[in-house]
Amino acid sequence: MHDGTLRRTTNIERVFPELASEPSSMLNWTVLDRLNAGDWFVKTDPFWTVSSLSSADVTEAGNQSVCKLTELLELVKESNTSILLKVHSVPSDHPHYSDYINITVNTVLQSGVSQHQVIWLSDHERTLVKQLAPGFQQASSVKRDAQYLKDRDVTFINLRYTEVDQEDIREYKSQNLTLNTYVVNEPWLFSVLWCAGILSITSDAPHILSRVPFPVWIMSPDEYSLIWITADLISFTVIIGIFVLQNYHTIRWRLGSIRTYNPEQIMLSAAVRRTSRDVRIMKEKLIFSEINNSMDTAEELSLCSENRYDGFANDAITPTTDAKTSAS
């Protein structure tokens, strides 16, 4: 229960509406013991697991109450597992503001759980915790230099999987530091971290990851890029081929029409697309142009005839220079 209040994960708004906005650390156990902490889980199904439960399991999950620390420690002792404790600081007006760390550590020590099974994640009062329980594994939730962590007796790092890379994993491993990543719910991501050398993960889907006995098939980035580019090229080729096959006759007809066109046909085709008024105006212009051309031709012929006659007359009347020379 990571929220600052209990509004999302309990029915406190219905049972104690006046306390719904209060910090959860300010509520005493008389209030907490009357809250239902399982009904929201069944209704919202945050990890998509409710459908896999039997009717009896759904009923049991829906009737869960707020778990005590002593109950959690008893479960750890029975299953012989480790527990990751992150104790949030309490408000300054909390009645146990000055000794809540002592109370928490003493509760753990009195439970019978071995100290090496406890991973202490809180940075607050770490020195005091090391004095009270030197066997606790000290952990950090902040990414720091490996040597810095080792100098402060930190042996466990808890980070989001997006915060670490291969170099960080090698560095922490070389300093004998255990790296835990969260939140890992997908088999492919679990496999990637497994192959990268991650020794511990936090998951909301243990029922799924427990069925992954070995890493699933993973390809390198270069192999993925090659497959991706090849698939794109094949898809592009197929699309072009389908387009050509579907439009083969149209393309062939258009190409054939272009090869058989001549300028007169193109002009006639353009004229056909014009309006009747434009065609009429063009015809009139052509007619007048032909008339003008005919008149110009007639005038030129007339002038040529006159010029030729004058030239002939001049040749007959006016003797040339050669003739005068011969006479003399």
Pair 215, 150 in one domain: yes
Estimate to the nearest angstrom the gap between the alpha carbon of 225 and the chain centroid: 17
Q: What is the DSSP string of 57-126?
A: HHHHHHT-BPPPHHHHHHHHHHHT--EEE-PPPPPTTSTTTTTHHHHHHHHHHHTT--GGGEEE---TTH
Note whether residue 327 is domain-resident.
no
Note whether residue 122 is domain-resident.
yes
Question: What pLDDT does residue 313 have?
Answer: 43
CB atoms near residue 67 (< 10 Å): 12
Pair 210, 246 in one domain: no
Pair 31, 72 in one domain: no
Q: Which candidate, 130, 109, 107, places its Cα nearest to that of 120?
A: 130
Question: What pLDDT does residue 309 have?
Answer: 44
pLDDT in tens, the chain (328 residues): 678 899 999 999 999 999 999 999 999 999 999 999 999 999 999 888 888 889 999 999 999 999 999 999 999 999 999 999 999 899 999 999 999 999 999 999 999 999 999 999 998 899 999 999 999 999 999 999 999 999 999 999 999 999 999 999 999 999 999 999 999 999 999 999 998 999 899 998 888 899 998 888 777 778 888 999 999 999 999 998 888 887 776 766 666 655 555 555 445 555 455 556 666 676 666 676 656 665 555 555 454 555 444 444 444 444 444 444 334 3
**Distance (Å, whole) CA 139 – CA 131:** 15
Pair 255, 181 in one domain: no
Look up the domain containing 57 and give its range.
1-67
Note whether residue 131 is domain-resident.
yes
| Domain boundary, last residue among 221, 241, 269 | 221
**Distance (Å, whole) CA 17 – CA 8:** 13
Note whether residue 180 is domain-resident.
yes
Question: What pLDDT does residue 244 have?
Answer: 80
Question: What pLDDT does residue 225 have?
Answer: 87
| Domain boundary, last residue among 205, 221, 237 | 221
Pair 281, 314 in one domain: yes
Pair 199, 233 in one domain: no
Alpha-carbon dihedral sign for residues 208, 209, 212, 217: positive
| Domain boundary, last residue among 202, 221, 240 | 221
Pair 164, 244 in one domain: no
Q: Which candidate, 135, 141, 63, places its Cα nearest to that of 105?
A: 135
Note whether residue 73 is domain-resident.
yes
CATH number at residue 178: 3.20.20.190
Q: How many domains does the chain have?
A: 3
Helix (H, G, I), strand (E, B), or coil: what is residue 204?
A: coil
Pair 75, 168 in one domain: yes
Note whether residue 167 is domain-resident.
yes
Question: Model pTM greater than 0.75?
Answer: no
Pair 273, 311 in one domain: yes
Pair 265, 129 in one domain: no
Pair 135, 230 in one domain: no
Note whether residue 208 is domain-resident.
yes
Pair 296, 235 in one domain: yes
| 8 neighbors 37 (Cβ within 8 angstroms) | no
